[in-house]
């Protein structure tokens, strides 16, 4: 008797479960929204035209290791080749990370940049900020960097704040070497702020 009940229950389930599945699928189709084919494209006409005219890459990363073992990576929110011209790319929201062989890290951030891989150079502009793992924050209007070797140059004024105080200079260069070091030139003004002794 018990085996009979079990067999009947299995038989009913074989019929009921597919029917329930069909009912659920029917409900999904009935409740689904009608898709407007004109509304599925998320780009405006102007943006589509810009994308067709300018070659564009979203979220690119360029990575290099120098002969001295320094690691350099360039990342951006977006890179375009305006009007399809070769020899240079324009980037937005740029971040350059340098992991030096000495163990120090340097991070450069800029609103925009111009990259020329063939010429091994880049120019960072627009609120350029340099942060070092040694505790320095440096601001500049323009940084010229190389892409395959460690080389950073600010031909114009820079201002910095760090563990020793504040510093202003007419130019700055990051010199490659062991160890690498920052050189400030053209009228350096340092306001030394000694740390207070801890009691």
Q: How far apart are CA 181 and CA 175, in angstroms?
A: 6
What is the percent of the chain where pLDDT is above 70?
Answer: 73
Residue 37 has pLDDT above 60, yes or no: no
Beta strands in the chain (DSSP E): 55-58, 61-65, 71-81, 89-99, 105-116, 121-132, 137-146, 152-154, 158-162, 165-169, 171-175, 181-185, 189-192
Indicate the length of the chain as a whole number.
199
Q: In the predicted model, what is the mean pLDDT of the chain? A: 79
Structure tokens at 32: 């689904």
Question: Taking the mean position of all CA atoms in its chain, how far away is CA 80?
Answer: 15
pLDDT digits (tens, 9 = 90+) for 169-193: 999 998 766 677 788 999 999 998 8
Of 24-28, 49-53, 111-115, the range with the lowest mean pLDDT is 49-53
For 77-113, the pLDDT digits (tens) are: 988 887 666 667 888 999 999 888 878 899 999 999 9
């Amino acid at each position: 008797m018990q085996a009979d009940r079990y067999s009947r229950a299995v038989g009913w389930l074989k019929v009921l479960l597919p029917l329930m599945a069909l009912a659920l699928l029917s409900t999904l189709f009935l409740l689904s929204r009608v898709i407007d084919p004109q509304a599925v494209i998320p780009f405006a006409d102007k943006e589509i035209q810009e994308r067709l005219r300018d070659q564009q890459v979203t979220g690119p990363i360029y990575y290099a290791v120098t002969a001295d073992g320094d690691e350099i990576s360039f990342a951006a929110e977006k890179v375009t080749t305006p009007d399809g011209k070769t020899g240079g790319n324009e980037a937005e929201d740029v971040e350059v990370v340098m992991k030096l062989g000495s163990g120090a890290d340097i991070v450069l951030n800029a609103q925009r940049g111009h990259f020329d891989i063939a010429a091994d150079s880049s120019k960072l502009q627009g609120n350029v900020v340099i942060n070092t793992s040694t505790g320095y924050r440096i601001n500049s209007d323009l940084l010229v960097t190389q892409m395959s070797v460690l080389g950073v140059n600010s031909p114009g004024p820079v201002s910095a704040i760090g563990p020793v105080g504040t510093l202003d200079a007419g130019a700055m260069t990051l010199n490659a070497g062991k160890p690498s070091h920052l050189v400030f030139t053209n009228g350096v003004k340092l306001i030394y702020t000694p740390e207070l002794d801890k009691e």
